[in-house]
Amino acid sequence: MNFVPFGGAFQPNVTSWRYAYNPLVGLTMARLVNMLNMAEQGYYADLQWLFRFVEKRDATYRAVKMRRLGAIKRLNWEVKVRDKFTTKTKSGEVNATPQATKQKEFLHGCYDELDNLKQAIEHLALADFRGFAHVEKHYRNGRMDEGVFHMEPVPQWNMCRRNPNPQWFYNQRAIMTITGIPIDPQHFVSRECESAIGEIASIAFLRKNMSQKDWDGFVETFGIPPLFVELPQGVGTTGPEFQALIETVMSDSRGVLPNGARIASVPDGQRGGRPFEEHIRYQDEQIVMAATGGLLTALTQATGMNEGQSGNHSDAFTDIAAGEAMMISEAFQKQFDIAELAREFPNQEPMVFFELAAQDIGEGERVIRDAQALHAAGYEMDTVQLEERTGYRLDSTRELEAQAAKEQQEQQAEMERQAQEQQAAAQAARCRRAAAARRRARSRRSSSFSSATRARSTQSTTARCAKTRRCRARS
């Protein structure tokens, strides 16, 4: 069997004719039922092309689709180690084995190298709306041993198969057929859904359009209440001048009627009920119920007076995203993780796996509430278990208080040390000033002593000279 070569399945230029074809033109219930019947046999092209247009044109369906895809795109992903390849220390810390750590680092790198992982996840999420979804693996330099760098979403109208045969075919021209180029599953990541939301949405969309058409005709005919003019007594119906005058007045609601003429209208209640709005609302409810698994019947948001309603809507889409994330994760685990790990670690059991929304959506809040209730009852949950269940890094209040007290003590000790250093510096400065003062005093005393000594020496010398002169004079 000739499989589609990897990196060459989807060629959008071949299906350009499809974009000139609008399936909504002339769409009838019989035509839609025929599309659904053909799709059961594997002829998907026309029905999938119709799904695309319904998703674009129906406001309710588009809104619920955007809400679901938005919830999926907000999720984070993580590579986790299987429990049997982990060890637990005495302190309760969970560590992966060395080989599992190597596999985790490698697989995490494989997902980091994908340039459109979010786009691939979003396309796989469309399987719930369209019944199936495929993304094709593109290998670096066209070599499988160099790894995948891109996941190309393949439009659903380019796929077909011969039900119930599970083999998929690439329908290159997107025509109504169940033959094509068989695809090799190892080069694709695919996901299937038994009941496509688009089937229910398409039926509801067609019924809403029928009701809307009838409603528009009703408004056009009965939107303005029917008016009748009662002519004055004695004026027959053959008066052309009165007829022309009345028609002028009725046409633009301006003019003059003769004396005695009276305008009468049919009361609104006598025209019967208007079931169109209720019928359209019912079809919208069917779409919302199908897209939310029966959790909701409307997408009405709270306006501030009813916050519980908004919370219920958020919780509904959060729960749906959590379940859908598990299915998408399983698709990657089976069709991507195993192949990549076998390429790098041959003959080794896969020890790690990809998981979208590693932490259960909304689970963290519930676990925290349970922990608070247990604490109030006098029990404490294990910190390691709390971190694992909530995804948060936890520090107990006692530890934080001890850390704050320790930091305060260190700051106080630092302030005291700086104060001591300042006091020592001031004392040293005073000592230096005192020593300088003593040196100056000694210098002054020494200078005074020297002056007195010189004076006495001078006086003694003068006295000796005088005595010598007297002695010489006597002789």
Do 148 and 15 form a contact (C-beta atoms < 8 A)? no
DSSP calls for 221-283: HHSSPPEEEEPPTT--TT-HHHHHHHHHHHHHS-----TT-EEEE--GGGG----HHHHHHHH
List the chain pLDDT tens, one digit each, 475 residues. 444 444 455 555 667 788 889 999 999 999 999 999 999 999 999 999 999 999 999 999 999 999 999 989 888 899 999 988 988 877 767 788 999 999 999 999 999 999 999 999 999 999 999 999 999 999 998 889 899 999 999 999 999 999 999 999 999 899 999 999 999 999 999 999 998 999 999 999 999 998 888 877 777 776 666 666 676 666 655 566 666 766 776 666 666 666 767 777 666 555 555 688 888 889 999 999 988 887 776 666 544 444 455 555 667 788 888 889 999 999 999 999 999 999 999 989 999 999 997 455 456 667 777 778 877 887 777 776 676 666 666 665 666 677 778 888 888 889 998 989 998 888 888 888 888 888 888 877 777 666 667 777 777 777 777 777 777 777 6
Task: Tell me the Ramachandran region of residue 174: left when phi exceeds 0, alpha when psi lies from -120 to 50, beta otherwise.
Answer: left
Residue 98: is the preceding peptide bond cis (ω within 30°)? no
Q: Is 174 helix (H, G, I), strand (E, B) or coil?
A: coil
Rounded CA gap, 210 and 24, in Å?
13
Do 171 and 45 form a contact (C-beta atoms < 8 A)? yes
**What torsion, rounded to 10 degrees, do the Cα atoms 191, 196, 197, 199 define?**
150
The two three-digit tokens of residue 436, written as one number: 């300088």
Do 391 and 358 form a contact (C-beta atoms < 8 A)? yes
pLDDT number for residue 363: 60
pLDDT number for residue 2: 47
- Beta-bridged to residue 265, according to DSSP, are 227
Do 218 and 276 form a contact (C-beta atoms < 8 A)? yes
Q: 297-326: string of b/e by CB count within 10 Å (b at 16+)? A: eebeeeeeeeeeeeeebeebbbbbbbebbe
- Beta-bridged to residue 160, according to DSSP, are 169
Do 127 and 193 form a contact (C-beta atoms < 8 A)? yes
Rounded CA gap, 381 and 384, in Å?
9
SS (H, E, C) 28-74: CHHHHHHHHHHHHHCCCHHHHHHHHHHHHHCHHHHHHHHHHHHHHHC
pLDDT number for residue 390: 66
Q: How far is CA 14 from the centre of its chain?
A: 34
Q: List phi, psi (to 5°) of 297.
A: -120, -5
In whole angstroms, how far apart are CA 234 and each of 231, 248, 257? 8, 21, 15
pLDDT number for residue 465: 76
